[in-house]
Structure 1
Amino acid sequence: MSMEWNSKSSGTGEYAEVNGLNLYYETHGTGRPMVLLHGGLGSGEMFGPEVLPALAEHHQVILPDLQGHGRTADIDRPLEIPLMADDIAALIDHLGLDRPDVVGFSVGGGVALHTAAKYPEKVGRAVVTSAHVRRNAVPAEMLAQQGQVNAAAAEFMKDTPMYELYQRVAPRPEDFGRLLDKIGVAMAQDFDYSEEVRGLQVPTMIVAGDADMAPPSHYVEVFKLLDGGLRDGGWMGEGRPKGGHALAILPGLTHYNIVDSPLWATTVLAFLDAQQA
């Protein structure tokens, strides 16, 4: 499969000083603001060429590059999802945004989850895509592959979209090996974010492909933590989760192409905009 990570969508790029980080972000479109968070080893450019314009047609999309990714240089700090959530909360304050929706994929999905859980007063709604909430939800063979991610793997990644993107946009292209080391250390840590999910106070949609990194059953379990899938929804929706939460398992998609899909963009917009009623 040929992949090129470049949205080719025109936006305004700027930097914000937050938490000691020179955080790069772009702004696309107009409307109610949405912070859109990319996955590991990517950048804001990884959202498909049809997806970002579809979102920006309805919303002002704030598109950051997370710590050590894309145009945001790394700092002397672990690459940890809760810390990156603090960065996003600080960016929301820096930009004076009024409870933007926070939408994230993979690592960015974890960041969206933690931002919504820790800073509910700063977030309107959240969409958490392809982000398992327990490390052991992923098959053992995938965990073994993740354990092999380190700087030594950089040589074998030179034909990948991750490497090409980093070399093209990073402030210090030579840091790619350092990013791999930090990602590898982060992925080796055990985690269970079930309590963060249970405590969510903002309407949240859990999204995954039907052949994602973790099985669909895991995302159903996450939905159950949000009071979802436990009873009939009722004629008037009275049996739906009390917090306004939702679940979407998208057909024919994987961890590696879900944010290229117009179906994903449509699903995100349907959830965010229906909540306005």
Structure 2
Amino acid sequence: MSFAPYKNCQIEYSVTGKGKGLVLVHGTGQSAENTWTEVAKHFSSKRTVVCPNYSGSGRTQDSNEPLTIELLAEQVLATAEHAGLQQFDIAGHSLGTCVAMYLAANYPDRVGKVILLAGFTSTEDARSQLQFRMWKEMAETNPKLLAETFLFTAFSPAFVAGMPDCAVKDTVEAIFTTTDWKGTARQIDLDLRINVMKEARAMQQETLVVGCVHDYIIPIAHSKELMKVISNAQYAEMETGHGGCVENLEQFISIVDGFLA
């Protein structure tokens, strides 16, 4: 892993492969490693793939101020520049889609094609506010419970039901021990305030919106709303939960391969 400087931040990131740039941006409580490792392996055979950990994830360091979408986006852009990318396509997952949309709208000369997996523009609806308030309280007071909640809600019921008990315990323990819970609470605080509707409407790039049918974190209605507001978008669905690129890696890669080609 490398580090890119940006103002008072040191942003951890990985870079693999050679070719046209592809930047992969993770979501809330996640990291580049546990979201994109297998996706990056595939695309690094033909792309320069950059996977940053924005503030609150991995070993990225900052001054611990409240997060903004502008800060996360500028961190991702600084990382791409540090890795030698002047122009790049970008894929975001969950909160990472908001980062991708902000960059696409504000840096149209830098951002090419855009992939939005389990995306949203805001969490102003009552259900989202309830969920993220619960998450924030758990992150601050009972992170082990939030680790269990992440596993329970991030994948489809069939996927979780098919996991052996030992795999469930091991996965929860891995989430609990590898997550920066103070950083996650900061990211959740941003989730509660975020709104990138203006940026979504301003985007002109070719955009692939990927909705997850069994998504209980960001219900698929949010992806369908993105289709209405992004002018140059196409749509695909996956029969997965929120973590579509982990739950069905082959399908996600196939969809993205076709779009980028």
Query: Aligning the two structures, in what range does the TM-score lie when normalised by the shorter sequence?
Result: 0.7 to 0.9
Matched, 1:151 2:113: no
Percent identity between the two aligned chains: 24
Q: How many residues align?
A: 234
Corresponding residue for residue 79 of structure 1: 67
Corresponding residue for residue 203 of structure 2: 200
1:183-231 deviation line (CA, Å, top 9, x unaligned)? 3422332x4322211100222211121122333333222111124xxxx
Matched, 1:211 2:214: yes
* SS at 2:66 equivalent: coil
- Conserved 8 A contact 1:151-1:178: yes
1:182 pairs with one of 182, 186, 211: 186
Corresponding residue for residue 260 of structure 2: 272
- Conserved 8 A contact 2:4-2:78: no
2:58 pairs with one of 67, 70, 78: 70
State the 1:64 CA deviation. 1.0
- Conserved 8 A contact 1:42-1:165: no
Mind listing any 5+ residue stretches in structure 1 that lack a counterpart?
A: 1-12, 167-175, 228-242
Instruction: Work out which of the two has the higher radius of gyration on C-alpha atoms and give 1 or 2.
Output: 1
Superposition TM-score, scaled by structure 2 size: 0.79
- Structure with more of its chain in helix, by fraction: 2
Question: Which aligned pairs between 1:56-67 and structure 2 lie closer than 5 A?
Answer: 56-67=44-55
Which deviates more from structure 2 when the two are superposed, residues 125-134 or residues 178-187? 178-187
- Conserved 8 A contact 1:23-1:72: yes
* SS at 1:124 equivalent: strand
Q: Which residue type is aligned with residue 209 of structure 2?
A: I
- Conserved 8 A contact 1:28-1:56: yes
* Bigger relative contact order, structure 1 or 2 (CA pairs below 8 A, ≥6 apart): 2
State the 1:151 CA deviation. 1.7
- Conserved 8 A contact 1:44-1:65: yes
Mind listing any 5+ residue stretches in structure 2 that lack a counterpart?
A: 148-171
Q: Distance in 2 between matches of 1:149 and 1:15?
A: 30
- Conserved 8 A contact 1:137-1:214: no
1:1-29 deviation line (CA, Å, top 9, x unaligned)? xxxxxxxxxxxx21111132111111122
Superposition TM-score, scaled by structure 1 size: 0.75
1:229-275 deviation line (CA, Å, top 9, x unaligned)? xxxxxxxxxxxxxx4x221121x2111343442211221121112xx
State the 1:147 CA deviation. 4.9
2:242 pairs with one of 255, 266, 276: 255
Corresponding residue for residue 34 of structure 1: 22
Question: Which aligned pairs between 1:76-225 and structure 2 lie closer than 5 A?
Answer: 76-136=64-124, 139=127, 142-143=131-132, 145-157=134-146, 159-166=172-179, 176-189=180-193, 191-212=194-215, 213-225=217-229
Q: Distance in 1 between matches of 2:126 and 2:245?
A: 17
1:143-201 deviation line (CA, Å, top 9, x unaligned)? 453353442123545744333223xxxxxxxxx34224313422332x43222111002
1:45-75 deviation line (CA, Å, top 9, x unaligned)? 1136643322222311111111120121342
